[in-house]
Structures are given as C-alpha cells and as structure tokens.
Amino acid sequence: MRVTEADGRVEITGVSDFDPEKIFECGQCFRWRRQADGSFLGVAMEKAARVRREGDKILFSGGRAEFEAVWFPYFDLERDYGSVRWEISQDPRMHAAAEYGAGIRILRQEPWEALCSFLFSQCNHIPRIRQIVETLCSTYGEPIEFENRIVYTFPKAERVAELSLGDLEVLRSGYRAPYILSAARAVTDGSLNFEALAGVSTEEARRALASLPGVGRKVADCVLLFGMGRTDAFPVDVWVRRAMERQGDRFDPSAFGENAGIAQQYIFFYERSGGAGKECAG
C-alpha cells in the first residue's frame, strides 16, 4: 500500500478489496451517506470524513496523521482481504458469495456505537435503523464542523446514560429505547467494560454482552464483529439463516476460524442482493 498526502487529503494505492459502496452499504454501519459526487461522507471515531474511489486510488479527507491514527485502523487496512477472500473461496459453497462481495471490508467501529446500532436493528429495516441512529446523533451528539457544514458525533455512553426514556422518545425507537439506556448505564458504571473484554475469549465477551437486556446472541455477535475486531464472530440473522438452511447440509462457520465474520458478511451481502435466489430458481 502506498500513501501520499496532498491538498489536505490522503491518497492510497495498492489496496485490494476497497469498494466504498459495498463497505458502507453492506449493512455493517449506518452513518455513511453517498453524496451527489459519488463520494461518501460520514462521522466515526469522533471525526468526520469524506471517502471516495477514483480508479485504483482511494481518497480520504484529512491529513496523513489523521489517516494513520484513525482511518487506517477503522478501515482495517492492515488486513489483506484478497487472501482472506481466497481462503474463504476454498469452500465451494462460498465461491459465488465471496466473489460477489469482493471489495467489502469489516470496519472497526467503536464498540459503544456498534452496540447501540445493533440494539436498534432488531426487527427494523436498514433505512429505519439509519434514521434512528441519525436522530440520536443530531439530538445528543457533539456538533463538529466539516466542509462548512455541521455534523454530529455519536453520543458517548456517559451522555446517553444521563437521559431518560422521555428524552429518547424523539428517536421513535419503540421498545428498544430502554435497552439503550441500560446499555449506556452498564458502560458508564463499568459493569460492561469494552477494554477489559479485549483480553478475554470471544465466548466470554459474548456472554458479557448478552447479559444486557435486549442483547441476545445475534446482537452480541454484531458488536463483537463490527465493534470489537472479533472476526471469528459469526452473526446469524434471518438472511444468513436462510442461506445456511438452503445448503441443506450442515454449515459450520467455525471452519472459517478467524475469517468466519468476513465470510458472514459475504453471505449476508450476497443473500440480500438476491444473487443466491437466482441460483436456486430451478
């Protein structure tokens, strides 16, 4: 990977598997929006950014220092997705999905944001999840200026913990609102400590997350995968379940080891695209 800085932005070349559209629209995150010029604008890690692809170049707003401190880890640029994808493709059942998902990367989001986002996700469509998250941020996040506009950070757990259910009504998040409040309180009072969970097994971290109200196996695995860098976590939602059931034969995600979560994202993206359905029609 080659990194150059110019005009207040960073260009990288020589990165395989970086398709902004797939990364931001494969359902793992909810705060990046496509702009009229084809770039994506978002806020993550308390920073706003614009990201675009031009041919084999990826452009990031901001300087090299910010890129190295924030966006390099956030976009998981250390991982060679080309070879991960090749390994996953060795399972013939994964071949089509892995090829279709070329360009996806698993973002390393903040664990608290991932926890909230996937608590909101239950029984909701993606547009609605985005709406709820955006309202949470614009109402309770911190304003920051970016390219002559105001955008909002994701509010910290400490901020949410001091809110009431009434304060959250503006989100229209229904029965999920109390889940958010108790999660915020758990993070704030230390009974859920993400830093400490970095040092325990995935299974133990999963148990800790699932002890929160409203967090079951699926949401816990989403937090592990999208917010805690646990690529061995394999969230099973209705789409992935459908794909697995169609295999008829037993499908064991643990066979993918540390790549299970990435395989999951290929399956999810492919299944939602409808590509898998066509294959089976007949």
Contact 80, 16 (CB under 8 A): yes
Q: Which of 174, 196, 200, 204 binds DNA (CB under 7 A)?
A: 174
Which residues inside 28-87 make contact with DNA, applying CB under 7 A?
A: 28
Q: From CA 67, how far away is CA 61, in angstroms rounded?
A: 8
Q: Which of 22, 27, 135, 144 binds DNA (CB under 7 A)?
A: 27
Q: From CA 245, how far away is CA 249, in angstroms rounded?
A: 8
CB of 45 to DNA, least distance (A): 19
Tell me the site size for DNA, rule CB under 7 A. Answer: 33
* Cα torsion through 90, 243, 113, 77, rounded to 10: 20
Our CB check for DNA shows the closer of 62 and 227 to be 227
Contact 258, 81 (CB under 8 A): no
CB of 178 to DNA, least distance (A): 8
Does 229 help bind DNA (rule: CB under 7 A)? no
CB of 5 to DNA, least distance (A): 33
DSSP code, position 154: P
**Contact region with DNA (CB under 7 A), list: 26-34, 72-80, 143-151, 248-256:** 26-34
Our CB check for DNA shows the closer of 9 and 230 to be 230
For 37, the 3-state DSSP assignment is coil
Contact 119, 36 (CB under 8 A): no
Our CB check for DNA shows the closer of 47 and 176 to be 176
Let me know how long the chain is: 282
Q: Which of 215, 224, 244, 276 binds DNA (CB under 7 A)?
A: 215
Q: From CA 57, how far away is CA 26, in angstroms rounded?
A: 21
For 49, the 3-state DSSP assignment is strand
For 62, the 3-state DSSP assignment is coil
**Contact region with DNA (CB under 7 A), list: 34-42, 100-108, 126-134, 192-200:** 126-134
Q: Which of 65, 165, 198, 238 binds DNA (CB under 7 A)?
A: 238
Which sequence positions are flagged as catalytic?
218
Q: Which of 41, 237, 256, 276 binds DNA (CB under 7 A)?
A: 237
Q: Which of 45, 186, 212, 263 binds DNA (CB under 7 A)?
A: 212
Q: Which of 219, 260, 263, 276 binds DNA (CB under 7 A)?
A: 219
Q: From CA 47, how far away is CA 45, in angstroms rounded?
A: 5
Q: Extract the tokens encoding 268.
A: 């999810």
Q: From CA 38, how far away is CA 52, in angstroms rounded?
A: 7
Binding site for DNA (CB under 7 A): 26-28, 121-126, 128-129, 169, 172-176, 210, 212-220, 222, 235, 237-239, 268
